[in-house]
Amino acid sequence: MKRDRNQADPEEATLVELDEAMQETDGEEALGLELEQAQRVELRKTLDHPEEAGKLLEESGISVSVDHLLGAKKVLQNRSRKGNRHLVVQEEAFTGQQSELRKLLPALGEVEDYPQFYREKMEQVATKLHEVTENEKKGFLDIKAITLLHKQLSVMSAMANKDHFEIPLESENGMVSMSVTLRRGGDKQKNPEAEIVLEVQEGNILRANLRADEGISITEIELSEAGRPENKRKIEELKERFSELFGEEKQGKTSQVKDLLMGAKCLVKAALPLYVQEGA
Domain membership flag for residue 172 = no
In terms of domains, do 104 and 69 share one?
A: yes
Residue 163 three-state SS: coil
Query: 155, 54 in Cβ contact below 8 A?
Result: no
Domain membership flag for residue 112 = yes
Q: Is 36 exposed, middle or buried (0-12, 13-18, 19+ CB in 10 A)?
A: exposed
Half-sphere exposure of 32 (CA within 13 A, CB side): 6
Q: How many C-beta atoms lie closer than 10 Å to residue 153's C-beta?
A: 24
Domain membership flag for residue 228 = yes
pTM above 0.85, yes or no: no
In terms of domains, do 201 and 270 share one?
A: yes
How many percent of the chain have pLDDT more than 90? 49
pLDDT of residue 280: 36
In terms of domains, do 77 and 153 share one?
A: yes
Domain membership flag for residue 11 = no
Total structural domains within the chain: 2
Q: How confident is the model at residue 213 (pLDDT cuts 50, 70, 90)?
A: confident
Task: Tell which of 164, 189, 220 closes a domain.
Answer: 164
In terms of domains, do 133 and 189 share one?
A: no
In terms of domains, do 73 and 156 share one?
A: yes
Q: Of residues 1 and 118, which shows the higher confidence score? A: 118
Domain membership flag for residue 28 = no
Domain membership flag for residue 25 = no
In terms of domains, do 191 and 153 share one?
A: no
Beta pairing class for 193-201 and 204-213: antiparallel
In terms of domains, do 64 and 148 share one?
A: yes
In terms of domains, do 68 and 104 share one?
A: yes
Query: 180, 167 in Cβ contact below 8 A?
Result: yes
Domain membership flag for residue 31 = no
In terms of domains, do 186 and 157 share one?
A: no
- What are the backbone dihedrals phi and psi of residue 266, each rounded to the nearest 5 degrees, phi first? -65, -35
In terms of domains, do 160 and 195 share one?
A: no
Range of the domain at 49: 36-164
Q: Residue 2 has what DSSP assignment?
A: P
| Most confident listed range (140-144, 200-204, 266-270) | 266-270
Domain membership flag for residue 143 = yes
Query: 171, 272 in Cβ contact below 8 A?
Result: yes
For the chain, what is the largest distance between any 2 Cα atoms, rounded to a whole number of angstroms? 84
Is a pLDDT exceeding 70 seen at residue 17? no
In terms of domains, do 245 and 194 share one?
A: yes
In terms of domains, do 40 and 153 share one?
A: yes
Q: Residue 79 has what DSSP assignment?
A: H
pLDDT of residue 45: 62
| Most confident listed range (94-108, 176-190, 229-243, 248-262) | 94-108
pLDDT mean over 267-274:
88
Q: Is 253 exposed, middle or buried (0-12, 13-18, 19+ CB in 10 A)?
A: exposed
Which range among 69-73, 239-243, 272-276 shows the weakest confidence by mean pLDDT?
Answer: 272-276
Q: Residue 185 has what DSSP assignment?
A: -
